[in-house]
């Protein structure tokens, strides 16, 4: 009886063991791929929003395509980050909507180009974002 019970116990335990092995392996794969993704990725960049000029700091920002970029509202009032190509009813490059104090807005993936933008609430707040194509490194001389 005792043997049967321990066999039953083992049968019950086996799927759990397999599951934990799968979890372990997938966790390992995930951390490996995360590590590889970090290699060669551009460091992220921030733009701070202030109530005083230059309002968006840095006011002119140049990044490579794919670089994560985040605006952070450092003021006590809402602002928004609106690409100048946004017009009523049109799709446009980016529009954060109201950004509350201390809120953040992350730039969506965009093609290389020049993106002047402004605050939709305070149109005098203006900035310029330039996205460069992927950088090509010169081949080394052999």
For 46, phi then psi, to 5°, come to -125, 145
Given the complex with Cu ion, which of 52 and 141 has the nearer CB atom? Answer: 52
Least CB distance to Cu ion at residue 133 (A): 31
Least CB distance to Cu ion at residue 121 (A): 4
Given the complex with Cu ion, which of 33 and 102 has the nearer CB atom? Answer: 102
Distance from C-alpha of 87 to C-alpha of 91, rounded to nearest angstrom: 8
Least CB distance to Cu ion at residue 119 (A): 3
No. of helices (H) and no. of strands (E), the chain: 1, 8
Q: Where do contacts with Cu ion occur on this chain (CB under 5 A)? A: 79, 119, 121-122, 125
Given the complex with Cu ion, which of 119 and 131 has the nearer CB atom? Answer: 119
Distance from C-alpha of 92 to C-alpha of 87, rounded to nearest angstrom: 7
Given the complex with Cu ion, which of 42 and 57 has the nearer CB atom? Answer: 57
Least CB distance to Cu ion at residue 126 (A): 10
Query: Which positions ≥6 away from 110 have C-beta within 8 Å?
Result: 65, 93, 94, 131
Distance from C-alpha of 65 to C-alpha of 79, rounded to nearest angstrom: 25
């Amino acid at each position: 009886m005792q043997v049967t019970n321990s066999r039953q116990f083992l049968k019950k335990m086996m799927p759990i063991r397999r599951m934990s092995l799968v979890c372990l392996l997938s966790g390992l794969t995930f951390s490996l791929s995360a590590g590889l993704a970090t290699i060669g990725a551009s460091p992220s960049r921030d733009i701070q929003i202030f109530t005083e000029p230059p309002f968006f700091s840095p006011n002119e920002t140049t990044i490579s395509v794919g670089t994560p970029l985040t605006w952070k509202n450092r003021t006590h009032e809402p602002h928004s980050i609106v690409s100048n190509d946004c017009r009523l009813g049109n799709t446009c490059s980016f529009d954060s909507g109201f950004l509350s104090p201390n809120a953040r807005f992350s730039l969506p993936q965009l093609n290389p180009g020049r993106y002047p933008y402004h605050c939709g609430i305070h149109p005098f707040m203006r900035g310029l974002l330039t996205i460069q194509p992927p950088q090509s490194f010169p081949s080394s001389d052999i």
